A and B are shown apart, each in its own frame.
Chain A
């Protein structure tokens, strides 16, 4: 068990391409840090540099206080779980798990005992004599975990370990890996492109894009206070609604005009985002789908209401997603997280309409249909504002103790 200190870590390829740029992170003892980002963001490269499978071009890597840049991978006391499990096909499960101890020339009795303990921990005792090809995906995943656990290393590295499992199994294994990590309290770096995995498993989440660290914080903070447009649009499903909006000064205070709606901004919110400086200018306003309500008796107190025409509904059972168009420009495409390829098709009909498509999570029994007009209210305290030039959040950089507060309250 050890802390990992990463200072200015950079990976530069001979052609000049930088896969990881100046990454600085402190990962505490026993912490599970999730590196998350879209494919090609450099998260796996960063992990491989920690593992020693990839040479470090620049910067320093310390594990347990020892500089590891020039230490061979086998001497770093790190275990890694690969995306494809990489089990040795000719060995039984027991031999797979025991391989590292055999190489370390541990006594036979000790190997036997530790293999047994590990198998017990992972509930794979009955499979010890089988070969990998006789196992299901979930079982192979467990064996891959067993191979890492048995070494009792200082650090676990996991490279998208769940991406090959089907959705249901993934949810189950997510919980199991998380519980196991807490129980063993081994410092862990976990790479994924799945923001749900990142939010549910990470003690802290580091969001990467194009090799650059965007934000590192607790899942709660990442969700509540995204540092920029990219993080805001990447974390959360459905993603945060974002559109250009103008800040205006009226006699009652500041307003933001979002499409046709003119919304008065509560004083406290304006102050927190230092919106005074943005009067007469355009910002990117953001609101999460769950902060948009259908106006009913319950939500009447949230004043900012707009008339919207529902373009599309998705009934999920527990909730109902309603899509509508807001007559305001969308933020620049390069500022936000790209829509995954598989979702482009379903979004396509909406691009025909002018403006920006917004999504709201309504009550499951809202009975909304396509073409309905309804009144929605925004939870104004939950509006986010971003600088359209730099993409950065306008939320004032407040003091650390203030930053910690909401987290403490929620927990």
Chain B
């Protein structure tokens, strides 16, 4: 490289410089997308095996040929997986939907009270809620089982739902509290001056602008309740009441592993969480608060 470009008067390189910039500009997205593509491939590789293996016959499911496409495409594994898992999928829906809704509603009420009501000691109460998030499920297995038994709470699924609702409260409260902390105090006071009480303010002013918090919380709760295995395996004793995660685990034979069945069952079991993301993600609106205050 010569010194010429630097010694040129400012008016001269006007022709050459933008061209160079255009190249640089075009290069930046290329690098970005290449990087993203590499990550996507890494993430999707197991999914590829999952899908491909699901379409193979039992004979073809040899780990040595996991990458190969099936010689003979068959849907028998999918049908078998569906027959085997559909009752458990229903159990999981019966568990996850009410538990998600209830724990989200409770989190909403808690978050509102903790951030906007500001009763004395609200911060201490909130700290205790936070502690709840750090309790490992393994640590409470035995006391929880005993408690649920002593409560004479209706057996099986409702019991599991109750456990999930209670253990979901800390995270749902945290999400709502932090979201409500961003709602300006002026808005609440304005509603008070307009004559609305606390509940009316919650209903007419706060809830309509809480959609983003509801979406985040519901995606989070649905996913973690649907995917939970530990609570389900020790709270549920009746195999007919097993949620899908436990049933999926049980597709593993003790001697032979039917990989085709396992793979298709695993994909089936994870579909509902995908659906939740796709459905609710659209409502993941940003900037709903725009316009409430200046700028």
A binding-site residues for B, Cβ under 8 Å: 51, 53, 73-74, 78-80, 82-91, 99-100, 103-104, 131-135, 137, 140, 147, 151, 164
Which of B51-59, B193-201, B261-269 lies at the binding interface? B193-201
Q: How far is the CB of B73 from chain A (nearest CB, A)?
A: 51
- Taking a contact as CB atoms under 8 Å apart, the answer to whether B189 and A86 are in contact is yes
Which of A73, A90, A131, A135 is the one whose CB lies under 8 Å from B193?
A: A73
Question: B192 contacts which chain A residues (CB < 8 A)?
Answer: 53, 73-74
Closest to A78 in B: B193
Known contacts A73-B192, A89-B288; A84 and B294 CB within 8 A of each other? yes
B binding-site residues for A, Cβ under 8 Å: 184, 186-187, 189-197, 200, 204-205, 208-209, 288-295
Question: B191 contacts which chain A residues (CB < 8 A)?
Answer: 88, 99
- Taking a contact as CB atoms under 8 Å apart, the answer to whether A140 and B195 are in contact is no
- Taking a contact as CB atoms under 8 Å apart, the answer to whether A133 and B195 are in contact is no
- Taking a contact as CB atoms under 8 Å apart, the answer to whether B292 and A132 are in contact is yes
Known contacts A82-B190, A88-B205; A103 and B292 CB within 8 A of each other? no
Known contacts A84-B184, A88-B187, A103-B200; A133 and B193 CB within 8 A of each other? no
Which of B187, B195, B290, B295 is the one whose CB lies under 8 Å from A86?
A: B187
Closest to A82 in B: B186
Q: How far is the CB of B179 from chain A (nearest CB, A)?
A: 14
Interface centre among B197, B200, B205, B295 (most CB of A within 10 A): B205
Interface centre among B190, B192, B208, B290 (most CB of A within 10 A): B190
Question: B290 contacts which chain A residues (CB < 8 A)?
Answer: 89, 133
Question: A74 contacts which chain B residues (CB < 8 A)?
Answer: 192-197
Question: A100 contacts which chain B residues (CB < 8 A)?
Answer: 194-195
- Taking a contact as CB atoms under 8 Å apart, the answer to whether B186 and A88 are in contact is no
Which of A80, A137, A151 is the one whose CB lies under 8 Å from B190?
A: A80
Q: How far is the CB of B5 from chain A (nearest CB, A)?
A: 40
Q: How far is the CB of A359 from chain B (nearest CB, A)?
A: 33
Closest to B205 in A: A88
Question: B187 contacts which chain A residues (CB < 8 A)?
Answer: 86, 88
- Taking a contact as CB atoms under 8 Å apart, the answer to whether A82 and B292 are in contact is no
Q: How far is the CB of A87 from chain B (nearest CB, A)?
A: 6
Question: A88 contacts which chain B residues (CB < 8 A)?
Answer: 187, 190-191, 205, 292
